[in-house]
Amino acid sequence: MAYESSKTKRLWGALEASVLRGDGIDIGCGADPVFPDVTRFDVAQGDANHVSRYIHRQFDFVYASHCLEHMVDPKLALAEWWGLVKPGGVLFFIVPDEDLYEQGFWPSRFNVDHKWTFTISKHSSWSPVSINLFDLVRALPDGEILDMRLQDNGYQRHLLSNGYRVGSAMYRVKKAASRVSYVLLRGLGLDRRSLKRQLIHPTDQTCEANAVAQIQCIVRKVKAG
């Protein structure tokens, strides 16, 4: 997601400022690193699923915004990222919230490369690939959760549209209707951007410049002794 870090930084306060200090690495930063002086790690530097193959030192903070949902195995990828954190340092990552971003549709209608959906903690989910972040983070050895919060600033909940369970009759009907709508709109000569907006706006709240639909998580690596 382009420039999500810049957008999210507008929401930060004393906690974020206190933990994002010292030597840091930004995994999956693209053209929008969290700070200009961080070590940047993206596709050009290697595979973020196996970051330890390329990076052989630790950092005061490891940051990743909207990257974990693209990993083949989030648990293994997060363990790799955790290995880059110095004792006393933090792993700071942000992922889309499945209810606010995917909105009940899977595969994702808004990013075809999303491999997983995330929630803070639910007993059950409509998503067949849902991951509870509390469970994921608790598996990190010597980890202490400093912050885990839903961020929905600018999100217009009155426009929220829930999808249907994948495989259900209504899901198939709605998917078929979307294909028909796409063909009709394409016949009118609309470009891809216009088609996307016609098909999913305003339910895709991330079309709003300052809207976020995500979960922020900060985990500290406790020092031994």
Tens digit of each residue's pLDDT (9 = 90 or more) over 38-55 = 999 999 999 999 999 999
Q: Token pair for residue 217?
A: 């998580």
**What is the mean predicted confidence (pLDDT) over 83-87?**
98
Same domain for 186 and 146? no
Q: What is the pLDDT of residue 175?
A: 52
Same domain for 70 and 98? yes
Lowest mean pLDDT, pick from 30-39, 74-83, 151-160: 151-160
User: Quick one: how many helices (H) and strands (E) in the chain?
Assistant: 6, 8
More confident of the two residues 67 and 156:
67
**What is the mean predicted confidence (pLDDT) over 187-208?**
46
Same domain for 139 and 184? no
- In angstroms, the CA 210 to CA 222 distance is 34
Same domain for 89 and 116? yes
- H-only helix segments in the chain: 4-9, 14-19, 74-82, 133-138, 169-187, 192-200
| Whole-structure pTM value | 0.82
- In angstroms, the CA 99 to CA 33 distance is 27
64 strand-pairing partners: 93
Domain residues for 194? 162-202
94 strand-pairing partners: 65, 216
Same domain for 104 and 184? no
The domain spanning residue 53 has which CATH number?
3.40.50.150
- In angstroms, the CA 45 to CA 149 distance is 30
Tens digit of each residue's pLDDT (9 = 90 or more) over 113-158 = 999 999 999 999 999 999 999 999 999 999 999 999 999 988 877 7
Same domain for 46 and 106? yes
Q: What is the pLDDT of residue 192?
A: 46
Same domain for 98 and 192? no
Same domain for 197 and 118? no
151-180 core/surface letters (b: 16 or more CB in 10 A; e: else): bbebbeeeeeeebbebeeeebeeeeeeeee
Same domain for 48 and 138? yes
- State the first-to-last Cα distance of the chain, in angstroms, to the nearest integer: 40
Same domain for 25 and 118? yes
Q: Provide the number of structural domains found in the chain.
A: 2
Q: Are 26 and 20 in contact (CB under 8 A)?
A: no
At residue 185, does pLDDT exceed 60?
no
Residue 102 has a CB neighbour count (10 Å cut-off) of 26
Q: Token pair for residue 143?
A: 């980890």
Same domain for 55 and 127? yes
Q: What is the pLDDT of residue 202?
A: 35
